[in-house]
Amino acid sequence: MVDGDPAWTAAADASEDVVARSLEASLARRLGELHRSTGLPVVFGGATRSAVTGQKLTITRLAGTLGDSLRQLDVVSGRGLGGVAMLRKRPCRVNDYASTSGITHDYDLPVVEYEKLTSILAYPIMVGGAVRGMVYGAVREDRPIGDVAVRRTGAIATQVARDVTAMLEPATPGPGGGAGSERSTALDELAVLARTTADPGLRAKLDQIHRALAGSRPSPDAPPGTLLAPREAEALRLVAVGASNAEIAADMGLAVDTVKTYLRSAMRKLGVHNRTKAVLAARSAGLL
């Protein structure tokens, strides 16, 4: 999680509703990555807003659920697993939600009765030092959620936070190449988010922000007609959630050198020279 970094203060100072809408737009495309990278059968999440009773999370994005009982569910700070994670500002997980005594059971009806969830992980999305959203992963079997799934959920939570900041942070010129590189990456991610959001009003606003920050700078696009082999695409999906070559090799059952070969091939096809640009170009072309 990114917390306390001055570079994130623009997002923290932005209006709460703008941050929430930006976060939900990012979740709309990142939730599939969370599902694939963790292997957890049920994932969901949403943004937080202020309420009379304190901070409130509204679940808006779902994948793998049996129905819509969790959609638009409001989770109040301090209540349930998500409320505890919200209050503590750190991830929390339980192995048997129904019998856990360390949380309240306000949400047992949709969570346990309707969705039949057992082990659940709640991971806060931190922007500007505040909890601005939450992603969850869950299973229905009698098994715990492992540390690898927690780390990969954290990678997605961090990426969502970066998506939000890329949309909200004003351009800050830097004297060194490092600052320029970070700005370039943020602009690339902003361009991808603008293309993939389903909200026309938000898309237009993001396009406007991107043009203002980037001027005539082109965003990374794959050459027309680019096709990725299934293994190349899968390797890039794992790159997108922060996996190392060794972790990708373990997940895909391959040698590390084979993974490197797939990534080099994907980069060559996409016309880029590093892993991050390859992910951005593949997403912009609808290949991931």
Task: Examine the pLDDT at 199 and tell me if it is beyond 60.
Answer: yes
Task: Examine the pLDDT at 171 and tell me if it is beyond 50.
Answer: no
Q: Tell me, which fold does domain 226-287 have in CATH?
A: Arc Repressor Mutant, subunit A (1.10.10)
Q: Name the H helices within the chain.
A: 9-13, 16-38, 80-88, 108, 147-168, 177-196, 200-214, 230-240, 245-252, 256-270, 275-284
Percent of the chain with pLDDT over 90: 42
Query: Would you say how long the chain is, in residues?
Result: 288
Task: Examine the pLDDT at 174 and tell me if it is beyond 90.
Answer: no
Give CA–CA dist 185/7, Å, rounded.
14
The model's pLDDT over 204-260, given as tens digits with 9 standing for 90+, comes to: 676 667 556 654 344 456 666 678 888 888 888 888 766 788 878 877 778 888 999
Task: Examine the pLDDT at 10 and tell me if it is beyond 60.
Answer: no
What is the homologous superfamily of the domain 7-168 according to CATH? GAF domain (3.30.450.40)
**Between the CA of residue 31 and those of 42, 152, 185, 224, what are the distances in Å?**
10, 12, 21, 27
Domain boundaries, the chain: 7-168, 226-287
Residue 252 has a pLDDT of: 78
| Virtual torsion, Cα 271, 286, 265, 37, nearest 10 deg | 130
* Unique residue bearing structure tokens 């988010």: 193
What string of DSSP letters covers 262-275?
HHHHHHHHHT-SSH
| Three-class SS state of 51 | strand
Q: How confident is the model at residue 181 (pLDDT cuts 50, 70, 90)?
A: very low
Task: Examine the pLDDT at 51 and tell me if it is beyond 80.
Answer: yes
How many C-beta atoms surround the C-beta of residue 99 within 10 A? 10
Residue 190 has a pLDDT of: 61
Show the CA angle centred on residue 189, arms to residues 186 and 194, nearest 5°.
125
